Structure 1
Amino acid sequence: MLETLGQLPATITISDSLWQHLISTVLLLLTVFIARALAGRFIRKTVNSIELQRKWLVNTRNGFLLLLLLGLVIIWGNELRTLALSIVAIAVAFVVATKELILCVTGSILKTGSGSFNIGDRIQIKDFRGDVIDQSLLATTILEVGPGKITHQRTGRMIVIPNALFVSEPVINESFTHDFVFHVFTVPFKREDNWQAAQQAFLDAANRHCEPYLEAVRRYMKRFNVQRGLEVPSVEPRVTIQVPVAGEVHLIVRLPTRSGQRGYIEQTVLSEVLSKHDFAAKKPEVSSLPESDPAATT
């Protein structure tokens, strides 16, 4: 028995083509790992922005991973094709068992091909909303922003979203215009309140806070929309009226702001206007005249 086991390695022969494939695979792995290390070192030395550095590192990692997979497919293509033809039934069972993983890869291809968002963008899919900090072949990682859909502060929680969701669910990109964005928030009033004065007060405050960078926003939006072939929108702050239900008036405040300052500009405008003005309806004064004495009239 021991003699048979000792002679077993000598009976195993490896063909020349298999040796070539193995050597090519090792060389491919070494090349990709070395190139990735050099690219990462170059990015860390030359890119000063932390946000841009993280974006380039993630994109570089994913690019080299795809390059490695493509190289392995090219090297082992004939062997894989022969193997696939001989185990069709196993392949079908494998596809059924790994359906979610396949959907994740499909979702990754879909979001990459459509360019729906990038690292640093604020997105919302289903009930998940936050800033994208990482993307891989199977999942997308975001830092949650909330609570709810109208606030703009981070909760401190990290959410890992499987890319399979991007196949069946729409994605909202709140940072589509990148450097500058339009921020919208709603201020509700009762119908009897002085909402006309509130409308003018919010418009004045929005104009005052946006004035320092309004011209820069105008140039940026014009350049961005010309590149995309879109109509250039008006960038001036505006306050419009909405009546969602009887007895209520909602003021819709829309103003341009830097991408990372939406929550700050909203809180600044709200604090300034509401602390300096009282728009509540004035209650009618109750008459304090003394009642007449019935005996005095007789």
Structure 2
Amino acid sequence: MPNIQEAHVINILWSTGLALVIYAVKSILLRFIHKKIANQLLYFKAKRLINFIAFMLYMVLFALIWFEAGGALVTYLGLFSAGLALALKDILLNIAGWLYILFRQPFDIGDRIEISGVKGDVIDQNIFKFRVVEVGNWVHAEQSTGRIVHIPNYKIFMDPLANYSLGFEYIWDEIRVMVTFESNWRKAKGILQEIIGKYSEDLEEDVQRRLHETSRKYMIYYNNLTPIVYTDVKDSGVQLTMRYICEPKMRRFTTEKIWEAVLDAFGAEIDIDIAYPTMRRVQL
């Protein structure tokens, strides 16, 4: 028994020393490639590969150290591993999530995603968590808040994941414009259709190309990619909704340009007025 306990102590020391050595070598290597690789995306992909190699190397060497102790140790390690799995369930799930992200690639560095109520651009991903620069929240039109949010890898198994950048790489957006009941709403609708039509001309070729590429991998099909204006009636007037395709990270810029064009165009028309909530008092 003392020999087995002594062997356990030696193996623990070897395992700890091995972890420190691999971590030190990995850190030195990451510093080196950070100086040599100027492209940030390429650096993060190299960093992810190095982390994976370091992790797998440690697991292989760890197994060689411990399983050399003989059959009696296998039973001991089995019981120890079962208790460890219960105590470190979240950590093990994070590692499983990391492997899933690494091989299945539901997102990549630079993608805009939404998960667990958090929306942002992925800036880093490691064994236990990934980080996003938050967009939206109190900032309108999905612009950056400046906050970095840390999300555990196991969330990939627990919550739905929305990826803005995977596949088609475009999203549908809508802008609602309300004109008064007294306005020439048909003319207003024609003006809005012309505005979003001009905006979409520059994107049409790229949208068609990306859609064709994406359809080879995913069952994504649109009968019509042409921007359109829908008509509806609300309490304050006639609501005209412009529906069009835009790039996720250009949503704020696109909205601004379209609104400026709308305000300029409506300002030149005497029979079109933008509506707003009003109250009319009638004296009998």
Please indicate, yes or no, whether the TM-score normalized by the shorter chain is above 0.5. Answer: yes
Q: How does 1:221-240 map onto structure 2 within 5 Å?
A: 221-226=211-216, 228=217, 230-231=219-220, 233=222, 236-240=225-229
Go from structure 1 to structure 2 and tell me whether the alpha carbon gap of 1:195 and 1:110 turns closer, same or farther (over 3 Å shift): farther
Aligned to 1:131: 121
How big is the shift at 1:149? 9.1
Cα distance 1:103–1:234, how it changes in 2: closer, same or farther (>3 A)? Answer: same
Do the aligned residues in 2 keep the contact of 1:185 with 1:253 (CA within 8 Å)?
A: yes
Shift of 1:200: 3.2
Given residue 208 of structure 2, which amino acid in structure 1 is its aligned partner? R
Q: State which of 258, 262, 272 in structure 1 corresponds to 2:261.
A: 272
Superposed, 1:1-298 pairs within 5 Å as 33=25, 37=29, 41=32, 45=36, 49-50=39-40, 52-76=41-65, 78-79=67-68, 83-86=73-76, 88-147=78-137, 151-177=141-167, 180-187=169-176, 189=178, 192=181, 196-226=186-216, 228=217, 230-231=219-220, 233=222, 236-241=225-230, 249=239, 251-257=241-247, 260-277=249-266, 278-280=272-274
Which SS does the other structure have where 2:170 is aligned?
Answer: strand
How far apart, in 2, do the equivalents of 1:142 and 1:68 lie? 28
Query: Equivalent pairs: percent with the same residue?
Result: 19
Q: Per-residue CA shift, 1:232-283, capped at 9, x if unaligned? A: 54674412537698887461522244x5323211221122213431543699
Larger Cα-atom Rg? 1
C-alpha distance in 2, partners of 1:79/1:244?
Answer: 77
Distance 1:244 1:79 in 2: 77
Structure 2 CA distance for aligned equivalents of residues 171 and 142 of structure 1: 13
Q: Deviations over 1:194-252 (max 9, x none)?
A: 654444333322222232343233223323323x1545546744125376988874615
Q: SS of 1:61's equivalent? A: helix
Deviations 1:49-98 (A, max 9, x none): 43x23432332233223332343245235248754512555443322222
How many residues are treated as equivalent by the alignment? 263
Distance 2:192 2:80 in 1: 66
Counterpart of 1:76 in 2: which secondary structure?
A: helix
Residue 137 to residue 35, structure 1, CA distance change in 2 (3 Å): closer
List alignment gaps of at least 5 residues for structure 1.
1-10, 284-298
Aligned to 2:282: none
Pairwise CA RMSD of aligned residues?
A: 4.3
**How has the CA–CA distance of structure 1 residues 281 and 191 changed in structure 2, closer, same or farther, with 3 Å as cutoff?**
closer
Query: Secondary structure in 2 aligned to 1:254?
Result: strand
Q: Which runs of 5+ in 2 are unaligned?
A: 267-271, 279-284
Secondary structure at the aligned position of 2:144 is classed as: strand
Deviation at 1:187, TM superposition (A): 1.4
TM-score after normalising by structure 2 = 0.71
